[in-house]
Structure 1
Amino acid sequence: MTPPPADHARPDPMPVTPKGRNTRESLLKAGEAVAERDGLGSLSVAAVATQAGVAKGTFYVYFADRNAFVDALHQRFYEQVADVVSTVTAGLEPGREFLVAAIDAYLDVCLANRAVKAFTFEARARGALTDTMADRVDHLMRLAEPSVRALGMTPTWINTRLIMAITSEAALIELEAGHEIPAARDTVRSLLDASR
């Protein structure tokens, strides 16, 4: 088996005790608060530990470093996206209805997790996405491809990527507004209708 590239973040093991899981969760929530208040650039180990009300050394019990922490925030966000998308698309065949349900669910999760999504945008703009972060985004694209194919949008991979980009831009519009923007969502839906 080939080892992962040096910049490939390895997930930190989950704590086995309830207290450990609670402390790890408190650190993640603190990171979200710091990121929302001050942005990704200010997301330091010291700031997170202070926000969580723990010693700086406690942070390192749960996360190898700042990059592992940022990756854990990103992973938690994408797990929430995957859970919600799989729930709303259960039983739907690939196609427009599947894509619309998935896109709306994704946008809803983005609004509910504004800080994490905002620093994900910032990380992407800075070219700071880790391999594991990019893999999670690719996974979402692979989930959308059968629906794009069912709509007859070719080439499928280009159209899927563009739909994802437009959806991300809709998320950014909603993040800036702080609430759902029906016109942004309607625009994404109308682009899907253009394939008919």
Structure 2
Amino acid sequence: MQQDWADPHVPRLVWELTRNGKFLVKTAYQLVVDTEEQRVASSSMSWPVKDGESIAFWRKLWSIQVPPRVKVMAWRFYFEAVPTLSNLSRRNAGVLAGCVWCGAGSKSLIHILEKCEFTRVVWALSNIPWRVLGTWSEGVATWIARLSFNMNKEEFEWFLAICWALWHSRNKLVMEGKSSSPLRVIQHASQFLNQYK
């Protein structure tokens, strides 16, 4: 924004992104999107998912029938933008290390969603074949995107509902001290998905 000094005694702010100089949320949003695209393009960090795969993943994610909060959670998981203990400790948030379910030293999203013994029992109860789940060898973004390609729409919806129920159960334990069993996590995911549909 620049100040328009037509009247030297009354400063006036002018929004440069509109013709009339008035602020619009639409133009502010576009500025943020453009800035983020430039940041990602110039970033040295490259996502392991190719552009075509990424576009296909986002199309599938936004087209499935799950509650919006599950889609947002998947978006946050994809970019590892969730408050895991490892992310919080990296930001010096003063948190203790360790998994809330199994006590293992790992506290990352990888551990929460795939490596933890509690999580492995949840996946075993889910009827999603372990061979489909695979491993995290290429990172969270690639894992979720590739799973979306290897599953039909209903399977991917079920997978994301379980991820949401796992994250919800973990947060209940961390914030309220309320624990769940792996079977209860599966039941919660099923009820949550069925109520939405």
Same-fold call, TM cutoff 0.5 = no
Indicate the structure (1 or 2) with the bigger Cα radius of gyration.
Answer: 2
Bigger helix share: 1
TM-score, length-scaled by structure 1: 0.29
TM-score, length-scaled by structure 2: 0.29
- Between the two structures, name the one with larger relative contact order (CA 8 Å, sep ≥ 6): 1
